[in-house]
Structure 1
Amino acid sequence: MRKILVQIPHNQVELFFTPESLEAIKLLGEVEWNPHDRPFTEEELKARIQGVDTVITTWRSAPITDEVLKNADQLKLVAHMAGSVKPILPTTAIYRKGIRVLNSNYAIGVSVSESVLALILALGHRIIPVDRVMGAGGHPKSAAYESYELRGRTVGLVGLGMVAREVIQLLKPFGVRLLGFDPFVNPETARNLGVELKPLHDLITQSHIISLHAPKVPETFQMIGKEELSLIRDGAILINTARGDLIDEEALIEELKKARFYAGLDVFTVEPLSADSVFRNMSNVIARPHLAGVNPDSRLRIGTLMVQELQHFYNEESLRFEVKEEQLAIMT
């Protein structure tokens, strides 16, 4: 009988699994649960992994190192119930052993896309500054607090991966014009998405709203620098739910001080954001502590979709969420 080792701490199991998905996973094999309210240590994982067919991991799980792999005599699948698998795969030797890898980017991406839309609407409709003035007893009926409609605007997506494609679906009812910058997407794919491909600078100058969805790789480090920020049109909205390193933060602060445009930031170069960061008190900024993708709904979606993916794997069916070695190279 196949053996499934679940690294998720005991006190977090119900955050990820519904009663239905718990019953479903028990039908797939002998399940060994983590008895601790903490992640396994690497030594504990090494001791438990012998004879295991599948390892289920999540945030802060013990990594599957070369030492752990020495004891993984039956391992066929690593199912990561989180986004990037980089933290739990410090070595690519797992691929040379023919072990397959899954992640939960899609389950998280659904929530990220909703956060993108929420930030666009909150900034466009001046929700937070109006609320603050109302809370202080004011009456903010002036041009400075009037709404900036999303309908009919031009939205530029930097990166056209899975999250950006979910954002596209959410934007369809608003009748927006969609621009995209992604060196790895061909014109036909872009057309099928309803996106016009543009060079980065053209996208920035033509967009009312710019949303970043590029991966963190050397080529994208501070891709939105001083020059790119200067090209953002007055009154525009910049959203970053991807990675803080995509933007030159010092240059961003200087531009935001001019109060030319608005920014919705869920990620920063250094996290957690320092207590004295100027981002916290800028009236044209909504700052969030990397919350866009994780919430009670997305955790349960992660568990449900992962159990379904395990069923597909054991039935030798095609997988939706497999991470190939070449994809690992562009994950953070």
Structure 2
Amino acid sequence: MLHLKKQILVEIILSTGDEMNQIKPKIGLASNKNVKENYLTKDNLNRINKKFDFRWGQFDEESSWDEPPNTNQKVKKKFANFCKDLDGLIVCHGSPLVDEEVLKVAKNLKFIGELEGDRFSQRIDLEASFKKNINVVDTTHGSSYPVAEWALALSIVGLKNGGYHFRKMINGEISFPDNDRTNDPGFIMGELWERKVGLIGCGHIGRRLLSFLKPFNTENYVYDPYLNRDIADIYQFTQTSLEYIMSNMEVIICLAPLTPKTEGMIGEKELNLIQPGSILVNVSRGAIIKTDALIKRLNKKDIIASLDVFDPEPVPVDSPIRKMENVFLSPHVAGVTKKCQPRFFSIMIEELERFFSGHKTKYNLSDFTISNRKGL
């Protein structure tokens, strides 16, 4: 019996020693202080510290969705030194560019993750990273949850003619003074049930929105030239052309990213294809739709627009779109929620756990991302 107890004790000591001697992958986050304070919850920190040797480096480079950070040599040197011994690097607002110069110093680097790069991760030189066979991921889609929710909500608000009725209410007016609703678009089109819905773009937001649309039994169509055809079968929609979406849908929802190719993609020709009574929703970027052409089309007062984005932003105080009764506006709030920020980080931890356990990551950036950045 004593011999058995000693054996068990030895096994416990050896097991504990193995755990203590196990080398944790070194993971660094390069960001500004705001990211550290708002994206790193206590639970997330406990989780990442359990499996990784985690450290944070403060950097305060200017952030842009459209351009890589422009960093001076002093900060570059500091950044390269921070990355030198890392196995994995996470970047976010404030981080310098991860370029070839940094990668030469960071010889152990196997994983780079962008927390919130608006799908195109301007803080990472993808070509240089791919040449070194570094696994690169982006968790920006953490904001796809509220954006998809708001796209759904704006669709219903538009179908109910919500912009018109809200204006009447706050102006102290009565929408139906004679109790006749027959000409109200909200009466005519006021249900999402079994409507024909067209999505322009079908990335993470579009796919989440398609799942939200299921209970409404909608007939769904998608225009997305970059989409793998298998996705249509999985999510049960029909892939089609932009022209078909614009001319045949009862609800049109723009979800496309802003690239050189999509900027101004929807102009007067496309807007004039929209059937009277239809609803146009934009939760992506205002510059995808040409502003003058949009205002001109809305002036016909035969369609309704629900817009979370506009070009320019903020919406100019003297813009006629502010006063249009057939328009519902929100100030680019779709993806901005308190829950999004820690969600970016929790998804990143999941990706780190997959990668350093020898599994495939889910949210990789690729040559396709480069093509999309350039609008090819």
Is residue 18–residue 304 contact of structure 1 (8 Å, CA) maintained in 2? no
* 1:139-184: CA deviation from partner (whole Å, max 9, x where unpaired): 2235337442111211011223222111111011111111222334
> Pick from 169, 173, 185: which aligns with 2:215?
173
1:242 corresponds to 2:284: yes
For residue 41 of structure 2, what is the amino acid of its counterpart?
Answer: T
Q: C-alpha displacement at 1:326, in angstroms?
A: 2.4
Normalising by structure 1, what TM-score?
A: 0.89
Give the match for residue 117 of structure 1.
152
* 1:114-148: CA deviation from partner (whole Å, max 9, x where unpaired): 11001111222233432332233222235337442
- Go from structure 1 to structure 2 and tell me whether the alpha carbon gap of 1:68 and 1:291 turns closer, same or farther (over 3 Å shift): farther
Q: C-alpha displacement at 1:271, in angstroms?
A: 4.0
For residue 264 of structure 2, what is the amino acid of its counterpart?
Answer: Q
Give the match for residue 59 of structure 1.
93
Is residue 266–residue 289 contact of structure 1 (8 Å, CA) maintained in 2? yes
Q: C-alpha displacement at 1:81, in angstroms?
A: 0.9
- Go from structure 1 to structure 2 and tell me whether the alpha carbon gap of 1:84 and 1:133 turns closer, same or farther (over 3 Å shift): same
1:140 corresponds to 2:175: yes
Give the match for residue 199 of structure 2.
157
Give the stretch that moved more between structures: 46-55 or 162-171. Answer: 46-55
Give the stretch that moved more between structures: 93-102 or 216-225. Answer: 216-225
State how 1:81-92 maps to structure 2 within 5 Å.
81-82=115-116, 83-90=118-125, 92=127
Give the stretch that moved more between structures: 140-149 or 302-311. Answer: 140-149
Give the match for residue 46 of structure 1.
80
Secondary structure of 1:239's partner?
strand
The CA RMSD over aligned residues, in Å, is 2.5
How many percent identity over aligned positions?
A: 29
Q: Output the CA distance in 2 between the equivalents of 1:208 and 1:60.
A: 42
- Go from structure 1 to structure 2 and tell me whether the alpha carbon gap of 1:186 and 1:330 turns closer, same or farther (over 3 Å shift): closer
Unaligned runs of 5+ in 2: 1-22, 63-70
Q: C-alpha displacement at 1:237, in angstroms?
A: 1.0
Give the match for residue 8 of structure 2.
none
State how 1:62-81 maps to structure 2 within 5 Å.
62-81=96-115
Q: Output the CA distance in 1 between the equivalents of 2:96 and 2:323.
A: 37
Bigger Rg, structure 1 or 2: 2
1:31 corresponds to 2:87: no
- Go from structure 1 to structure 2 and tell me whether the alpha carbon gap of 1:27 and 1:209 turns closer, same or farther (over 3 Å shift): same
Give the match for residue 296 of structure 1.
338
For residue 143 of structure 2, what is the amino acid of its counterpart?
Answer: I
Give the match for residue 130 of structure 2.
95
- Go from structure 1 to structure 2 and tell me whether the alpha carbon gap of 1:62 and 1:289 turns closer, same or farther (over 3 Å shift): farther
Q: Output the CA distance in 2 between the equivalents of 1:146 and 1:84.
A: 35
Give the stretch that moved more between structures: 227-236 or 4-13. Answer: 4-13
Q: C-alpha displacement at 1:31, in angstroms?
A: 1.8
For residue 165 of structure 2, what is the amino acid of its counterpart?
Answer: V
Q: Output the CA distance in 1 between the equivalents of 2:171 and 2:81.
A: 59
1:194 corresponds to 2:217: no
Q: C-alpha displacement at 1:225, in angstroms?
A: 1.7
Give the stretch that moved more between structures: 188-197 or 38-47. Answer: 38-47
* 1:57-114: CA deviation from partner (whole Å, max 9, x where unpaired): 2234322133333332222211111132432024621211112111113322122111
For residue 287 of structure 2, what is the amino acid of its counterpart?
Answer: D
Give the match for residue 142 of structure 2.
107
Unaligned runs of 5+ in 1: none
- Go from structure 1 to structure 2 and tell me whether the alpha carbon gap of 1:184 and 1:70 turns closer, same or farther (over 3 Å shift): closer
Q: Output the CA distance in 2 between the equivalents of 1:208 and 1:189.
A: 23
1:233 corresponds to 2:268: no
Length, aligned pairs only: 331
Q: C-alpha displacement at 1:203, in angstroms?
A: 2.3
- Go from structure 1 to structure 2 and tell me whether the alpha carbon gap of 1:86 and 1:185 turns closer, same or farther (over 3 Å shift): closer
Q: Output the CA distance in 2 between the equivalents of 1:273 and 1:133.
A: 21
Normalising by structure 2, what TM-score?
A: 0.79
Give the match for residue 254 of structure 1.
296
Q: Output the CA distance in 1 between the equivalents of 2:209 and 2:135.
A: 29
Q: C-alpha displacement at 1:189, in angstroms?
A: 3.9
Is residue 136–residue 364 contact of structure 2 (8 Å, CA) maintained in 1? yes
* 1:27-76: CA deviation from partner (whole Å, max 9, x where unpaired): 2322222357x459643323322112222122343221333333322222
Is residue 84–residue 331 contact of structure 1 (8 Å, CA) maintained in 2? no
Give the stretch that moved more between structures: 153-162 or 305-314. Answer: 153-162
1:17 corresponds to 2:40: yes
Is residue 165–residue 193 contact of structure 1 (8 Å, CA) maintained in 2? yes
Q: Output the CA distance in 1 between the equivalents of 2:246 and 2:185.
A: 24
1:278 corresponds to 2:320: yes
